[in-house]
Chains A and B, each alone.
Chain A
Amino acid sequence: MNLSHPGQFSRRRLLGLGGGLAAGIGLAPMLTACGDSTSSAATPAGGGTLTMGINATPDTLDPGATGLALTLLISFALFDPLVYWLPDGKGGSAFHPGLAESWTISPDASVYTFKLRKGVTFHDGTTFDAKAVKATYDHVVDPKTKSKSGLGALGPYKETKILDDYTVQIVFTAPNASFLHQQAAGNFGISSPAALAKYGPTAYGNNPVGTGPFTFQSYQAGSQLTLLKNPKYTWGPKALGEGPAKLDKLVFRIVTDDSGRYNALQSGQLQIAMNLPPNNISAAQKSGKFQQLLVPSIGTPLGMPINVTKPPTDDPLVRQAIMYAVDQDALVKDVLYDVYKPAHNVLTPITPGYSAAASKTYSYDPDKAGQLLDQAGWTVGDGGIRTKNGKKLSLEIILFSGGGLELPTQFAVSELQKAGFSANTAVQPFATAQASFNSGAHNLGSFGYYGADPYLLNIWVNSNAIQSGFNWSHYANPAVDKLIAKANATAADATRNGLYEQVGAKLMQDSMYLPLWDVAGAFTLSPKVQNLHQTLNGYLAFHSATVG
Chain B
Amino acid sequence: MLLFVVRRLGAAIPVVIGITLIAFVLVHVVPGDPAKVILYGANASPEQIATLRQQLGLDDPLWRQYADFAVNLVHGNLGTSFLTQTPVSHELLSRAPSTLILTATSMLVAVLVGVPLGLVAGMRPGSVLDTVARWISFAGVAVPYFFLALLLVLLFSVKLHLLSAIDDGTAKSLVLPAVSLGWGYAAILTRLVRGRVIDELRSDYVKSARARGSGELRVLLRQVLRNSSVPAVTTIGLQFGNILTGAAITEVIFGRAGLGSFLATSITSKNIPVVQGAVVVIGIAYVVINLGVDLIVGAIDPRTRQEAAA
Using a CB–CB distance below 8 Å, which chain A residues touch chain B?
A: 1-3, 11, 14-19, 21-22, 53, 59-60, 65-69, 146-149, 151-152, 202-203, 205-206, 220-223, 253-257, 259-261, 263-264, 266-270, 401, 429-432, 434-435, 438, 458-459, 464-465, 467-470
Contact = CB atoms under 8 A, between A and B. Distances in A.
B38 A67 contact: yes
B269 interface: yes
Interface stretch (B67-75, B78-86, B184-192, B205-213): B78-86
Nearest to B260: A14
Contacts of A14: 248-249, 252, 261, 264-265, 268
Q: What are the 5 tightest A-B residue pairs by CB atom distance, in nearest-first order?
A: A431-B32, A222-B257, A429-B268, A67-B41, A263-B165
A304 B184 CA distance: 42
A2 B157 CA distance: 35
Contacts of A255: 166, 255
Contacts of B85: 60, 65, 146, 202, 205
Nearest to A456: B43
B41 A68 contact: yes
Given A146-B85, A269-B165, A458 B252 contact: no
A149 B154 CA distance: 39
8 contacts: A3-B40, A11-B249, A67-B40, A202-B85, A430-B37, A431-B34, A432-B268, A434-B33
Contacts of B95: 221-222
Nearest to B165: A263
A205 B37 CA distance: 18
B30 interface: yes
Given A269-B164, A431-B30, A1 B265 contact: no
With most chain A CB atoms within 10 A of its CB, the pick from B40, B46, B166, B271 is B40
Contacts of A261: 166, 255
A149 B158 contact: no
Given A202-B85, A260-B165, A264-B165, A152 B269 contact: no
A299 to B, nearest CB: 13
Given A11-B252, A14-B261, A267-B164, A149 B42 contact: yes
A260 B252 contact: yes
A263 B255 CA distance: 11
A220 B94 contact: yes
Nearest to B46: A468
B267 to A, nearest CB: 8
A66 B271 CA distance: 16
Nearest to B163: A267
Contacts of A152: 41-44
A69 B258 CA distance: 23
Contacts of A464: 45
Contacts of A264: 157, 164-166, 255
B183 interface: no
Contacts of A220: 94, 257
Contacts of B265: 14-19
Contacts of A22: 41
A376 B264 CA distance: 45
A19 B256 CA distance: 13
A263 B158 contact: yes
B257 A205 contact: no
Given A222-B262, A264-B166, A470-B43, 4 more contacts: A17-B83, A148-B42, A221-B84, A431-B33
B123 interface: no
Contact of A148 (B31, B41, B261): B41
Contact of A429 (B83, B164, B269): B269
B269 A18 contact: yes
A221 B254 contact: no
B161 interface: yes
Contacts of B267: 429
A270 B52 CA distance: 39
B36 interface: yes
A18 B83 contact: yes
A83 to B, nearest CB: 23
Given A263-B157, A264-B166, A267-B164, A17 B264 contact: no
A431 B44 contact: no
B254 to A, nearest CB: 7
Contact of A468 (B49, B84, B266): B49
B151 to A, nearest CB: 11
Contacts of B271: 18
Nearest to B270: A431
A254 B34 CA distance: 24
Contact of A221 (B146, B257, B266, B270): B257
Contacts of B262: 222
A19 B255 CA distance: 12
Contacts of A256: 252, 255, 261
Contact of B166 (A11, A17, A269): A269
Given A17-B268, A220-B94, A264-B165, A67 B84 contact: no
A267 B158 contact: yes
Given A1-B43, A149-B42, A435-B33, A17 B255 contact: no
B42 to A, nearest CB: 4
Most buried by A among B43, B90, B161, B270: B43
Given A11-B252, A221-B91, A269-B165, A434 B45 contact: no
B113 interface: no
A221 B95 CA distance: 8
A17 B40 contact: yes
Contacts of A223: 98, 167, 256-257
A469 B262 CA distance: 26
Nearest to A224: B257
A434 B35 CA distance: 12
A202 B85 CA distance: 6
A259 B166 CA distance: 10
Contact of A259 (B33, B52, B253, B258): B253
Nearest to A468: B46
B269 A431 contact: yes
A205 B153 contact: no
Contacts of B84: 59-60, 205, 221
Given A18-B83, A222-B262, A263-B157, A434 B268 contact: no
A468 B38 CA distance: 12
B161 A468 contact: no
